[in-house]
Amino acid sequence: MISDVLIAVFGAMAIIFALLVVVLRQPMRAALALIAHMVSLAAIFACLEVHVVALFQILIYVGAVMVFMVYAIMLLDDRDASYAHVFSRWSVPAVIVAAVLVVALGAMLVQWAPAAPAATVRGPAPFSFSAFSVEFMTHYWFHFEVASILLVIGIVAAWAVIAERR
Amino acid sequence: MIRRNLMVVVMCVEVMLNSVVLAFVVFAARSGTLAGAAMAFFLYIAAACEIAVAMAIVVMLVERRGSLDLAADYELKG
């Protein structure tokens, strides 16, 4: 019951901060709103007892990706034309499409809301670190190796873009 | 695409990726299986690759055009 309330609170915070990312004028403030959005999502994951992903969210997304992005923002010039004219000419159609989508999804949610799962006796937590690690390296070891190749490809691609610049 | 600032557009893509992670985590929590959590892990790897390449492209475009404004890239085609 308490976790349901917390999920609702953090869900509302995540939506508010996601909207702030879209509407805030300064990219640095938008980045801070994005960090708050990601922390809210990590709190939701923790409330859902998927602690492994909550920690990944903080360590990888907030700790690595967003720090990288904040550095990139600091490298760029803040006297840009896009700071004065924030929204593009596609703003009105985009807002209309988003409103229609929200109404449609809300109607679907009201009409086909899933029933609350019956209370069952729970075994050991499937998302503890040890259970996740053993299960992951048993079933997903090949995907993990392929992912490491993808990371190398990403590094080479970023290097190629930088090299092409010279 | 309602914003003109390239950095904010990249951040909006990150918000979309986060929503996909949320969907996978809710699936994992409701089903009690690790498939959703594993997919979330792989999504983090994809997001790390995406942000590395995206930041390199952003810096390159800014150096070429001197602007973060997407309206300056009007000659992009296809």
List the domain boundaries for chain A.
Answer: 2-123, 128-166
Cβ <8 Å between B59 and A91:
no
Tokens of residue A121, six digits: 């006796």
Q: Can you give the pTM of this predicted structure? A: 0.84
CB-based contact, B72 to chain A, within 8 Å: yes
Domain A2-123 architecture: Up-down Bundle (1.20)
CB-based contact, A152 to chain B, within 8 Å: no
Closest CA of chain B from A58, distance in Å: 11
Look up the ipTM and state it: 0.87
CA distances from A158 to A24, B35, B48, B54, B60 (A): 28, 30, 11, 8, 10
CB-based contact, B9 to chain A, within 8 Å: no
Closest CA of chain A from B26, distance in Å: 8
Selection from B51, B30, B34 nearest residue A139 by Cα: B34
**Residues A45/A64, Cβ–Cβ less than 8 Å:** no
Q: Considering only CB atoms, which chain B residues are within 8 Å of A50?
A: 25, 28-29, 37
Q: Which pLDDT tens digits describe chain A residue by residue (166 residues)?
A: 788 889 999 999 999 999 999 888 888 898 999 999 999 999 999 998 888 889 988 998 888 888 888 888 888 766 776 676 777 777 888 889 989 999 998 898 888 876 666 555 555 566 778 888 888 888 889 999 999 999 999 899 888 888 876 6
